[in-house]
Amino acid sequence: MRILKSSFAVVERRAEHAVKYFYSHLFWHNPAIRALFPSASHDMQRQRDRLFAALTHVIAHLEHDSLLPYLQDLGRDHRKFLARPEHYAAVGASLLAALAETSGAAWTPVVEKAWSEAYQVVADAMTAGAATGEGPPWWDAEIVRHLAYGEDVGVLTLRPEAPFPYRPGQYTSVSSARVPRTWRTYSIGNAPRPDGTLDLHVSRIERGRLSTALVREARPGEMLRLGAPGGALTFRRADRPVSLIAAGTGWAPVRALLEELAGHPPAQGVRLFVVARDTAHLYDRPLIDAYAAAFRWLAVTYITPAPGRHRDEATARLATALGNRGLWPDHDVYLSGPPGFVDETADLLRGLGADPGRIFHDTLPAAGTGHGPGGRPLGFGEWFLHRPAPHWLDPSQRTPRHG
């Protein structure tokens, strides 16, 4: 582990060169593989960002229990690319070549052996995950309704042609013929329905070709492809009090959890915190208010800046609101939003006494430049629905899982 982390620290300083060398090496030695990747240069830039973000995530979580499930989910999801064993071998060879090129004199036989063994573990875990995948590599789904909330948020209702099995709180990757060979991950905003339809909450990002197409251009009757569902933000137990915390379109998986809880509410109640840049961007507030009126077990707190104040004030208001609530050691907490929001809020909750083993969120790699459900998939959505990003979100990592 120490060897890998020390080696990666060298590579990080030349990350852009490493990733560009990797893809050049991969496509030069395996020309047929190029057809599996997006053709647009901007989309390939995002692809390069995702690769390094995923590699960073793996190195950072080498000793974490969450790494194996993450890799298995990634392998199941990669069935949609029709990935075969020879593809994993080709990727491994090019990755080692790129690491060697970037490391210079720091690339020694010992370092090479460590990376070779680590990559084999990754490839084996992903292959095993793919082998356990149920259903087809992807599902074809028709858009049956498209609701726009302003110019930058859309909720798409889809009807898959075949049963699409998922659990409340999970996400799926999406592809459209409008942006060929491009996949982005979006959270599913409802619990399973008798008619099989599902909702995707999409936040458009600047220069995000797929998110722009889905929010502004897609129409009912169009077909999309859905990758295998993934994610671990799923309800655990009904015998504990529950707190749900959602930021921006991170509301989608929390809404799905809330629908599930409506059928089997915890005896000790549910606390819901919904965060947005201002009250105008609480795009699903009518439904939240209806739930609060219908269910006595649900307590809702909206977190927005005061009128006329900067959007960053929402961060401080959330900290205050959470600090004013007690009993955190007793609560199961479900947390959804971009990586920066999730990390900071989880740290705050631990400081308030919450049990780290009871703070549930998807463990995602940080997004790369302009990257957007999920790269794991990377995330559940932007906290704020328009640019610029709030202070806790690095401008170079601003759009988790949406693009």
Residue 208: the pLDDT is 85
Q: What percent of the chain has pLDDT over 70?
A: 85
Distances (CA, A) of 191 to 87, 151, 169, 251: 35, 26, 8, 13
The arithmetic mean of pLDDT across residues 133-157, rounded, is: 91
Q: Which range is least confidently modeled, 60-64, 139-143, 242-246, 365-369? A: 365-369
Beta strand extents in 219-353 (DSSP E only): 223-226, 242-247, 270-275, 298-303, 332-336
What tokens were used for 16?
A: 């852009």
Cα-only R_g, the chain? 21
Residue 366: the pLDDT is 39
Place of tokens 């693009």: 403
Neighbours of 131 (CB within 10 A): 11
Q: Where are the domains of the chain?
A: 2-131, 139-226, 242-397
Residue 164: the pLDDT is 95
**Residue 246: band (very low, low, confident or very high) from pLDDT cuts 50, 70, 90:** very high
Alpha-carbon distance 98 to 177, whole Å? 32
Q: What percent of the chain has pLDDT over 90?
A: 47
Residue 40: the pLDDT is 57
Question: Coil, strand, or helix at residue 126?
Answer: helix
Question: Taking 90 as the threshold, does the pLDDT of residue 60 lie above it?
Answer: no
Number of H helices, E strands in the chain: 11, 11
What tokens were used for 244?
A: 């749900």
**Residue 73: band (very low, low, confident or very high) from pLDDT cuts 50, 70, 90:** confident
Beta-bridge partner residues of 145: 157
- Say if CB 18 and CB 52 are below 8 A apart: yes
Residue with the bigger pLDDT between 132 and 227: it is 227
- Could you please state the CATH topology (level 3) that the domain comprising 139-226 is classified under: Elongation Factor Tu (Ef-tu); domain 3 (2.40.30)
**What single-letter DSSP state applies at residue 305?**
P
- Whose CA is closest to 51, among 101, 91, 83? 91
Question: Coil, strand, or helix at residue 237?
Answer: coil
What tokens were used for 44?
A: 């390939």
Question: Taking 70 as the threshold, does the pLDDT of residue 74 lie above it?
Answer: yes
pLDDT in tens, 208-220: 889 999 999 999 9
Question: Taking 70 as the threshold, does the pLDDT of residue 256 lie above it?
Answer: yes
Per CATH, domain 2-131 is 1.10.490.10: yes
Residue with the bigger pLDDT between 261 and 377: it is 261
Alpha-carbon distance 101 to 115, whole Å? 14
Which CATH architecture group holds 242-397? 3-Layer(aba) Sandwich (3.40)
pLDDT in tens, 379-396: 222 222 222 233 332 333
**Residue 143: band (very low, low, confident or very high) from pLDDT cuts 50, 70, 90:** very high
DSSP 45-82: HHHHHHHHHHHHHHHHTTT-TTHHHHHHHHHHHGGGGT
Q: Where are the alpha helices (DSSP H) in 187-334?
A: 209-212, 251-263, 285-294, 313-324
Tell me the average pLDDT of the chain. 83
The arithmetic mean of pLDDT across residues 34-58, rounded, is: 71
Please report the sign of the dihedral spanned by the C-alpha atoms of residue 88, residue 400, residue 290, residue 258: positive
pLDDT in tens, 146-203: 999 888 889 999 999 999 999 999 999 999 999 888 888 899 999 999 999 999 999 8
Q: Which range is least confidently modeled, 48-62, 107-121, 128-142, 173-187? A: 48-62
